Every structure is written in C-alpha cells, then in structure tokens.
Structure 1
Amino acid sequence: MTEYFRASRHLDLDGAYNTRDIGGYETEDGRVTRPRTLFRSDSLHNLTPDSQRALVSEGLRTVVDLRVTDAVTQHPNVFAESSEVDYHWVNVMGDEPLVEVSDINVSSLGPDRPPDIYAAILDVRREWMGKVVKLLAAPGTLPALYHCNSGRDRAGLVTMLLLSIAGVPPETIVEDYSSSATYLWRRIPDRAAGKRLRLDPADLDASEEHRQAFETERNIAPPHAMRASIEHLEREYGGVGPYLTGAGVTEDELDRLRAAIVE
C-alpha cells in the first residue's frame, strides 16, 4: 500500500485536495463498506503524474467525471485519454440553467431554509443519477473514482446514493458529506496576496481571520444540506431504492453493486 492510502480515508494526492475513500463505514447490519473500492473527489485536471500512477497502482479501473461541458472542455480530466483507466463523462447537472454549477451556495442556507438546490438536482436529473449508479454497478468497473469540481455537491449526492445502497446509516452519510469542509481549507482565498493558499487542514496557523473568511465567503458543507436531501428522497420517492429503480436501475444492478461495495 502506498503512502497515499495509509493514514486515513483522505488521499493525500498532489493536484487534488478532496479525494476520499468511502470504504470503512459501518452499515446498519454490522458490515462495512469495502475499502479502496469507491473514491469521491474534486476535479482531477491538475493531478500530477506521480499521483496518477499512485491511483493506477492501487487498481483504479474507472473514472466517472460528473462535471458540465465547459469544465470538461476547459480543464480536461487527466485520465480522459488513459490506456489504463476507463474514463466516462456523465454530466449529471446538464448545461441548462438549473443552477450555477460552479458556485452552489449551500452554506448560505440556514436550518429553516431547506437546500432546495440539491432536491432540484435529484428531481430534474434523476435519469442521470441513475446512469452513474448503473455504470458503477457494471461488472469490471470497480475500483472506481467519481468526481465533480470541488468534490462536494455532485460527488456528495452520488456518495449519498451509494452509501445508502450499502446500508450506511443516514447520519454517517451526513458526516461524510460534511467532511468536505475540512479539505476545502486548501482553497482558502488569500485576497491580500491574490492567490490561493495550499494549507494542510491540520495546520490551523492560518489564523481565525482566515477561518471566518472561509466560512462566510466560501461554500462549505453544512450537515443540514445532506440531511434534507436524504429526507427529500424518503418523502418524495420512498427512499433511495425506489428513486433509483425509477431512474432505470434494476434490482439486480443494485444487488450486484451492494455485494461489490460491502464486506
């Protein structure tokens, strides 16, 4: 196992800051999600050759790019032309003005104002969410990595679906989503210097001023955003299972994926 995969769920890659293994979570029936099988991430367009090799050496077979057309065109995925990894582009947001994809401001939504944008994505782009799950359920696809821009919104919703399929409790799913805030520290804007800082999340010497600026000016990952999304699927569709079968995912595909990602 390489150094990238030793210490924690977070992968310390060069050129990507919010790449995480969703393995190791306990399910409601006492099992765990299989480590080094599914990874969520931010954009990979800056991933260094060494980090690319680290992922490949760990058995990565598939990369699923969830970004919109402009992002894919302007910042191509480093695995798009790979001979070692299968690259798939699934534009789960679409290019219509459902939402400003590059700046989904869920942090501005208080407890009394539900994060309707996530519900809108789940409702309007249901078929495309189903496409992602069907792709990951296909034989020979795993281990796989899926990513959006920051690794929080679209990747967060896909993770919610996958962990729900695995039987992970809702509050654990919420905690996983909220963990993105820790790694978004690496994009704190240094306005004075006019550049982005590369901070280690554990190194909080950046000062309380930086922390406050980040929390108020950058979009983080408030727990209520994902909690409301899970509740939305329960209320409107009867849960993740019916939501996905209505999106074209078969029960056999759900069973196959569950068996592959839980041990």
Structure 2
Amino acid sequence: MIDARKPIAERAGEREIKIRWDNVPADVSVNVYVGTQPYKIEKTNSVGVLSDGECVVGSLAPGTRYFFELVIGDEAAGRVIGERRIAFEGAHNFRDLGGYETQDGRHVHWGKIYRSDHLSELTEGDLRYMENLGIRLICDFRAQEEIAKQPNRVPANDPPVQINPDIMGTALMPGEIQAAIMNGNPDGLDFGQLLIDGNRHMATRALDQYRELFARLEREDSVPLLFHCTAGKDRTGVGSALILLALGVSEKTVMWDYMLTGFYTSERVEQWVRNFMETTTQPIDLEAVKPILSVRREYLGAAFEAIRDGYGTVDRYLEDAMLLTKPRLEALRERLLR
C-alpha cells in the first residue's frame, strides 16, 4: 500500500526511521538532514545518504517528532518529509496530512492538520508526545453515545479546546450497528451498502459540521488542528478528503490517503475479529461483517459521486456547499500550503 515513488519516512524501531525514495536514480546523491521543525532543518551535517533509495536514521530520541529534508546533490533546498502515521500506542490511525503535493506543485504543510481514530486509549507516553505536537483544537465528529463510552484523553497541561460537530455517518446509530454485529446480524443488514449510502449522506447532508471544520482551519488559534471519529475512517475520511480537495490535492492522492486506513489498521481489525469470534456465542457471517470494518474505494467514491451529482464539480461544491469563496479558499491555501 505504501507508495515510495515519492519520498516517505516510516518508523523502523523506537529510535529508528527508514527513509525511502524509490524513484531516485542510482547515480544521484541524496543527503538526508534531520530536525524537529519541518521547515527549520539545519543542513550543516548530513545524517545519511540514500543508498539504493533507502537510508535508516538511528539514535533518535523516543517521543520526539522528527522531520527530514532530502537534498539532491549541491541543491540549496530539498524535499521535506515526516512520518505519515504517528506511532502512538493507544491510537492506531493518527496521521499527519502534511506533505501531500497539490496540482499546482505546492505541498500541504507538515504538522498543521492531523486526523485520527478515538483518543480514549492514549497512554501517558502518547499524551506527552501529543502535547509536543502543539495541537490547539480537537474536532470530534462522534455522537454523544460514542463519547460517553470512550471519552478522549488529552494532555493535562494546556489542553486543546474540544468541539463536537457530531455527524451521523450512517442511517443507524453506532450502538445499533454494534448490536447487529454482536447478535449475528439477524436482519441481514448490507453493511457495505450502509457505508456507501453513509458516505453520500455525509458529503451532502453533514454540511454544517464540515463547514465548522473549515472555519476552524482558518483561525490562527485552532491550528494545529486534529479531527477524528471512532475508527478514523468514514466521518474522518470524508473530512480529510474535503480538506485535501480544497487545498488542491488530486482525487487520486485523496483516495490513496483514504485507503491508508486499511494499511495501518488491518492487523488491529484482524485481532478484533479473532477476539470477537473467541467470545461470541452467536453465529457470525464474517464476510457480511467485514465491509463495516474496512475501507473500500467505493465508499469514498460514493461521496465523490454525490458531490458531482449535486453540484457538477468539486470547485462548485466547495463554493456552494462549504461556502469557500475564492478569497477564502486562496487564504486557506496560503496558510496551509508550502
């Protein structure tokens, strides 16, 4: 799933990060520099050179966010990258939207916009790391029922503001879906169709909630901003898609970001299924349940389709549905792109 034709940074161990850039010709020298601020990296001493498109940077302090600048040959500036997924113990889909390239050649600013699953299981180490990210606002799309069961854990020191523009991601409440799964889905719900319909609904009916997300991104006191739901895949997935589209990222890249949820959470989902099968006494049709636990192109594709059905183009949707006039859109891009 990870595409390294463009440079990426992946966690290789507690103190190691692997840099990959598969498209770099073998005869091209690429120096790697490291820093804790994405656009203030000192380029005095290189911490490594890509060999066959790879380099492992070690001796990194645990709990510290690192960024890397990849400089080709004698060029003055290079490409800045960071880890896409933040390796928290208690959140499994916590990601930075930075680094994605826009269609006009700019890049989304690292360290400004984060997306995640729920935060109720963050460890003390996670909370210290999160505090260092400097997040100022958390936008929680969950229903009150979900929040009551899994309240967010946030840093105690200078905690971020939390808002709750709750979104009904499907025609059923989360508790109803869970009950259907636990009881063996006696009504024969089509979970895949439920999510297709849900994505269409979110793109065209949860307008106030996503407008609030954009309004907060425009405010200096709300960025860095984190938005999330329970699994960080559907309500959060549509929110992420809308942000990236507004910033000028291609639909292909937006879909790639959406599908990363499957890559990062597949092991956790499989473990949940195993645990569930060991404890339930109900006959469960796993093939019927899998769609609700996964991400599929047709889910987000349904949101894209609904946008075009209702508004003709993404640009018209952003202006008419999200109320992002051209001046607002340009100002947003000026703040969040490099």
**TM-score grouping bracket, smaller chain normalisation:** 0.7 to 0.9
Match of 1:123 among 204, 218, 228: 204
**Residue 187 of structure 1 pairs with residue 269 of structure 2:** yes
Partner of 2:171: 98
* Equivalence map 1:217-256=2 (5 Å): 219-247=293-321, 249-251=323-325, 252-256=327-331
Q: Aligned with 1:23: secondary structure?
A: coil
- 1:134 to 1:242, Cα distance in 2 relative to 1, 3 A: farther
In structure 2, distance between residues paired with 1:36 and 1:81: 21
Say if 1:134 and 1:253, in contact at 8 Å, map to a contact too.
Answer: no
Say if 2:190 and 2:288, in contact at 8 Å, map to a contact too.
Answer: no
Q: CA deviation at 1:52?
A: 1.5
- Cα deviation, 1:141-191, whole Å, max 9, x if unaligned, reads 111111000000000000011000110000110111011012222132224
* Equivalence map 1:95-244=2 (5 Å): 98-101=171-174, 103=177, 108-109=192-193, 115-185=196-266, 186-188=268-270, 189=272, 190-191=274-275, 193-194=278-279, 216=290, 219-244=293-318
Say if 1:152 and 1:221, in contact at 8 Å, map to a contact too.
Answer: yes
In structure 1, distance between residues paired with 2:288 and 2:115: 22
- 1:250 to 1:11, Cα distance in 2 relative to 1, 3 A: same
Q: Which has the higher contact order (CA 8 A, sep 6+)?
A: 1
- Cα deviation, 1:6-32, whole Å, max 9, x if unaligned, reads 462011102100111111111101111
In structure 2, distance between residues paired with 1:262 and 1:128: 23
In structure 2, distance between residues paired with 1:164 and 1:69: 29
Say if 1:170 and 1:227, in contact at 8 Å, map to a contact too.
Answer: no
The 10-residue stretch of structure 1 (243-252 or 99-108) with the greater mean CA deviation from structure 2? 99-108
Partner of 1:59: 134
Say if 1:178 and 1:221, in contact at 8 Å, map to a contact too.
Answer: yes
In structure 2, distance between residues paired with 1:117 and 1:250: 23
**Structure with greater helix percent:** 1
What is the identity, as a one-letter code, of the residue corresponding to 2:208? E
Partner of 2:181: none
Report the count of equivalent residues. 242
Say if 1:15 and 1:47, in contact at 8 Å, map to a contact too.
Answer: yes
TM-score w.r.t. length of structure 2: 0.63
Say if 2:98 and 2:108, in contact at 8 Å, map to a contact too.
Answer: yes
Greater C-alpha Rg? 2
Runs of 5+ unmatched residues, structure 1: 196-211
Say if 2:102 and 2:250, in contact at 8 Å, map to a contact too.
Answer: yes
- Cα deviation, 1:110-148, whole Å, max 9, x if unaligned, reads xxx992221112222222221222122222211111100
Q: CA deviation at 1:79?
A: 2.9
**Structure with greater strand percent:** 2
Say if 2:85 and 2:94, in contact at 8 Å, map to a contact too.
Answer: yes
Match of 1:69 among 144, 149, 159: 144
Q: Aligned with 1:115: secondary structure?
A: helix
In structure 1, distance between residues paired with 2:238 and 2:288: 23
Runs of 5+ unmatched residues, structure 2: 1-35, 37-60, 67-81, 179-188, 281-285
In structure 2, distance between residues paired with 1:140 and 1:49: 25
Partner of 2:97: 22
- 1:114 to 1:158, Cα distance in 2 relative to 1, 3 A: closer
Say if 1:42 and 1:147, in contact at 8 Å, map to a contact too.
Answer: yes
In structure 2, distance between residues paired with 1:98 and 1:40: 23
What is the identity, as a one-letter code, of the residue corresponding to 1:234? R
Q: CA deviation at 1:244?
A: 4.2
In structure 1, distance between residues paired with 2:249 and 2:190: 23
Q: CA deviation at 1:73?
A: 1.9
Say if 1:63 and 1:86, in contact at 8 Å, map to a contact too.
Answer: yes
Partner of 1:209: none
